[in-house]
């Protein structure tokens, strides 16, 4: 039975399935619009005999399935393997394929460029209060895609009015059943009290253990006194202690923040730096800052 026209772009061929002309571009546009992860593989150079010409494209999706093809066989299997590795790092890569017996019998070679699809970074905001809402409002101007979590429906109703924001109603005990740790994702814990923060922190740390993946940015809001108290509470769980040491708590760089918007700016600045691989500078008092743009040159 033929699919309706509006379903063409969402159809994902399995590995080895031939795509129709234009499928790669349609699928790529759908991925960008819906925040789906994947890697675009493009044949950029061929030498002698090769199964596909320069410009041929294939999308490797996060689950290992593909749209399009760069030639099939062991050569394509290698591209899929390298593409999934590139998806984890977020870095582009050039892959050389030997078709003279190594990964084929054509006798030539191909150079294939792997480009992770640029998409917004998933960012979980645990707490829909003043700081959480300010962070989402300000962060929507950056490359983050927000999901707001709270156990209070009335607070989530306000967050749901923000364009492009997803909401999840979940207590700490329910969190692991409602969310999973994304690749290169960020999370901020900023609920309404330290006891609830500790519950969400424990749930998030156990999610990381269960998913065998960590958040690229993991922060929790609070004063130094609150940070010490939360660390003591989590220390009751020895299996979580090592990872808890790496949580950014207190989170945020020093900008003299007082208002929710200023606190949000402080947190987002640190999150942006961490996601871009900029190393923080530690002050003598333990405060964190980052090099000025001119200092990086």
The predicted structure's pLDDT at residue 131:
95
Whether 290 is covered by a domain: the verdict is no
Give the residue numbers spanning the domain of 125. Answer: 121-280
Are 266 and 138 found together in one domain?
Answer: yes
Are 84 and 195 found together in one domain?
Answer: no
Q: Tens digits of per-residue pLDDT, 20-72?
A: 668 888 998 888 777 678 999 999 988 888 878 888 899 999 888 999 988 88
The predicted structure's pLDDT at residue 1:
29
Whether 21 is covered by a domain: the verdict is yes
Are 111 and 149 found together in one domain?
Answer: no
For the full predicted model, state whether its pTM sits above 0.75. Answer: no
CA distances to 70, 187, 241 from 95, rounded to whole Å, are 12, 33, 39
Are 70 and 198 found together in one domain?
Answer: no
Are 26 and 173 found together in one domain?
Answer: no
Q: Rounded to an integer, what distance in angstroms lies between the CA atom of residue 135 and that of residue 267? A: 8
The DSSP element (H or E) to which 201 belongs, if any, is helix 194-211
The predicted structure's pLDDT at residue 297:
42
- Answer with the residue of higher pLDDT: 292 or 13: 292
Q: Tens digits of per-residue pLDDT, 232-270?
A: 999 999 999 999 999 999 999 888 889 999 999 999 999
Q: Tens digits of per-residue pLDDT, 126-174?
A: 999 999 999 999 998 888 889 999 999 999 999 999 888 999 999 999 9
How large is the average pLDDT for residues 218-233? 93
Are 151 and 27 found together in one domain?
Answer: no
The average confidence (pLDDT) of the chain is 84
The predicted structure's pLDDT at residue 87:
84
The number of C-alpha atoms within 13 Å of 277 and in the hemisphere containing its C-beta is 4
The DSSP element (H or E) to which 197 belongs, if any, is helix 194-211
Domain end marker among 63, 88, 116: 116
Are 69 and 187 found together in one domain?
Answer: no
Tell me the three state secondary structure of residue 282: strand
The predicted structure's pLDDT at residue 36:
79
Q: For Cα atoms 10, 12, 18, give the angle at the middle one, nearest 5 degrees.
A: 125
Whether 293 is covered by a domain: the verdict is no
Whether 287 is covered by a domain: the verdict is no
Q: Indicate the number of domains in the chain.
A: 2
Are 109 and 142 found together in one domain?
Answer: no
Whether 295 is covered by a domain: the verdict is no
Is-contact 127 134, C-beta < 8 A? no
**Is pLDDT above 80 for 112?**
yes
Q: Rounded to an integer, what distance in angstroms lies between the CA atom of residue 31 and that of residue 68? A: 14
Sign of CA dihedral 121, 122, 125, 128: positive
**Is pLDDT above 70 for 225?**
yes
| CATH code of residue 262 | 3.40.50.720
Q: Rounded to an integer, what distance in angstroms lies between the CA atom of residue 199 and that of residue 193? A: 10
Q: Rounded to an integer, what distance in angstroms lies between the CA atom of residue 205 and that of residue 181? A: 10
CA distances to 28, 45, 57, 66 from 50, rounded to whole Å, are 25, 10, 14, 20
The predicted structure's pLDDT at residue 62:
84
Are 75 and 222 found together in one domain?
Answer: no
Are 205 and 109 found together in one domain?
Answer: no
How large is the average pLDDT for residues 171-193? 93
The predicted structure's pLDDT at residue 289:
65
Whether 294 is covered by a domain: the verdict is no
Are 206 and 253 found together in one domain?
Answer: yes
Are 215 and 94 found together in one domain?
Answer: no
């Amino acid at each position: 039975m033929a699919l309706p026209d509006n379903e063409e772009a969402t159809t994902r061929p399995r590995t080895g399935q031939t795509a129709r002309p234009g499928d790669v571009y349609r699928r790529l546009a759908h991925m960008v619009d819906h925040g789906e992860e994947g890697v675009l593989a493009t044949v950029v150079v061929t030498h002698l005999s090769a199964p596909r010409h320069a410009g041929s494209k294939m999308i490797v999706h996060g689950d290992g399935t593909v749209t399009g093809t760069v030639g099939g066989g062991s050569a394509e299997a290698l591209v899929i393997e390298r593409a999934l590795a590139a998806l984890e790092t977020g870095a582009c890569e050039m892959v050389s394929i030997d078709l003279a017996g190594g990964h084929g019998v054509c006798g030539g070679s191909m150079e294939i460029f792997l480009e992770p699809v640029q998409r917004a970074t998933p960012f979980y905001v645990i707490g829909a209060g003043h700081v959480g809402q300010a962070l989402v409002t300000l962060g929507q101007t950056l490359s983050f895609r927000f999901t707001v979590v709270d156990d209070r429906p009335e607070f989530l109703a306000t967050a749901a009015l923000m364009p492009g924001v997803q909401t999840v109603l979940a207590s700490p005990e329910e969190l692991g059943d409602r969310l999973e740790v994304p690749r290169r994702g960020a999370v901020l814990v900023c609920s309404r009290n330290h006891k609830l923060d500790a519950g969400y922190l424990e749930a998030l740390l156990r999610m990381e253990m269960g998913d065998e993946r960590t958040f690229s940015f993991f922060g929790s809001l609070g004063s130094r006194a609150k940070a010490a108290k939360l660390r003591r509470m989590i220390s009751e769980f020895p299996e979580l202690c090592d990872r808890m040491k790496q949580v950014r708590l207190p989170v945020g760089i020093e900008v003299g923040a007082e208002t929710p918007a200023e606190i949000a700016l402080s947190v987002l600045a640190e999150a942006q730096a961490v996601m871009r691989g900029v190393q923080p500078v530690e002050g003598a008092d333990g405060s964190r800052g980052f090099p000025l743009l001119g200092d990086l040159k």
